[in-house]
C-alpha cells in the first residue's frame, strides 16, 4: 500500500477530588496519510462519566493543505441513537445532511464568509491536529481560532448540525513529555474561551492545555481541562 498509517489509544481519566485518577473513557484513533498529502482520521470515543454516556464515531478527511473536506459523525448517547450527519466543506460552503429522532431529516447549506481554520470534530486527537494552524515562527502567541463543528456542546452530545466556534489557541513553548506510550518532543498549547465561543448552559469552555508531538503528524500526547470538567487525557498506545 502507498499510504502511511498512524494509530493510537488515549485514556480519559478524572481529576475531580472524589474520582481522582479513575478511568472515565477512552479514544481509539487512526490516521491514513496519503502520498498526495491528504489525510483521513477515524476515531471512536467512549465517554462513561459524566452521565449520560457518549459513544462517538468520526471519519474526517483533510486535503493536502490541512483544510477540511468532509466529516461523518454518528452519536449514541446513554446507549441510544442520537443522530448521524455528513458534513461537506467545499466551494465556500459547509453542507450538512443529518438525521436523528429529535430532529428528523435536516439539510443545511451555510456560506463561509471570510477565512477559517478548520472543522472541530470533538475527538481529542482532532484537537491536537488543529494546532497545526498556528504559525510557530511567531514564537509563543495567541491565535483567534475560527472553526465550524457538528455541535457546540462541550462533549459534542447534540444531534449533528452546523455550528461555528471562535476560541483562542495559544502556543506556550516546547517541552519533552513522557507518558505510557513513550517519551516525545512536544509543543505545548492552550485553548481558552474567554468570550464564550462554545457557550452552553455552563458558560464558555474551561482552559484546556495539551501537549502535541513536534512534527507534521501533531499527535496528542497528554492534556487536561480545568474548571467544572477537571479531566485528564494521556496517550497510552501508539503505532506509526
Cα 104 from Cα 83, distance rounded (Å): 9
149: buried, middle or exposed (CB in 10 Å: 19+, 13-18, 0-12)? Answer: buried
What phi and psi values does residue 129 have, to the nearest 5 degrees? -70, -30
CB atoms within 10 A of CB 127: 21
CB atoms within 10 A of CB 22: 13
* Three-class SS of 93-142: EEEEEEEECCCEEEEEEEECCCCCCEECCCCHHHHHHHHHHCCHHHCCEE
Would you state the pLDDT for residue 144? 95
Cα 59 from Cα 189, distance rounded (Å): 24
Residues 141-168: pLDDT tens digits? 999 999 999 999 888 999 999 999 999 9
Would you state the pLDDT for residue 198? 58
Domain regions of the chain by residue span = 4-239
Query: pTM here?
Result: 0.94
Question: Average per-residue pLDDT in the chain?
Answer: 94
Give me the CATH topology for the region 4-239: YmcC-like fold (2.40.360)
Would you state the pLDDT for residue 200? 55
Kindly tell me if the per-residue pLDDT of 128 is higher than 70: yes
Residues 40-70: pLDDT tens digits? 999 999 999 889 999 999 999 999 999 999 9
Q: Are 44 and 25 in contact (CB under 8 A)?
A: no
Kindly tell me if the per-residue pLDDT of 114 is higher than 60: yes
Amino acid at each position: 500500500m502507498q499510504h502511511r498509517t498512524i494509530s493510537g489509544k488515549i485514556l480519559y481519566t478524572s481529576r475531580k477530588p472524589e474520582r481522582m485518577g479513575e478511568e472515565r473513557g477512552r479514544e481509539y484513533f487512526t490516521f491514513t496519510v496519503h502520498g498526495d498529502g491528504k489525510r483521513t482520521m477515524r476515531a471512536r470515543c467512549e465517554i462513561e462519566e459524566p452521565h449520560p454516556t457518549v459513544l462517538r464515531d468520526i471519519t474526517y478527511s483533510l486535503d493536502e493543505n490541512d483544510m477540511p473536506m468532509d466529516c461523518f459523525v454518528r452519536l449514541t448517547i446513554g446507549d441510544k441513537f442520537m443522530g448521524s450527519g455528513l458534513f461537506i466543506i467545499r466551494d465556500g460552503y459547509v453542507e450538512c445532511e443529518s438525521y436523528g429522532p429529535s430532529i428528523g431529516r435536516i439539510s443545511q447549506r451555510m456560506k463561509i464568509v471570510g477565512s477559517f481554520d478548520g472543522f472541530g470534530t470533538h475527538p481529542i486527537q482532532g484537537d491536537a491536529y488543529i494546532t497545526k494552524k498556528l504559525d510557530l515562527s511567531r514564537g509563543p502567541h495567541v491565535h483567534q481560532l475560527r472553526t465550524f463543528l457538528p455541535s457546540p456542546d462541550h462533549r459534542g452530545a447534540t444531534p449533528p448540525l452546523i455550528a461555528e466556534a471562535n476560541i483562542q489557541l495559544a502556543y506556550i513553548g516546547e517541552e519533552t513529555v513522557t507518558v505510557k506510550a513513550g517519551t516525545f518532543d512536544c509543543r505545548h498549547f492552550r485553548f481558552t474561551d474567554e468570550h464564550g465561543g462554545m457557550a452552553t448552559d455552563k458558560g464558555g469552555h474551561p482552559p484546556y492545555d495539551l501537549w502535541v508531538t513536534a512534527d507534521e503528524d501533531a499527535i496528542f500526547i497528554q492534556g487536561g481541562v480545568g474548571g467544572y470538567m477537571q479531566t485528564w487525557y494521556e496517550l497510552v498506545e501508539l503505532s506509526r
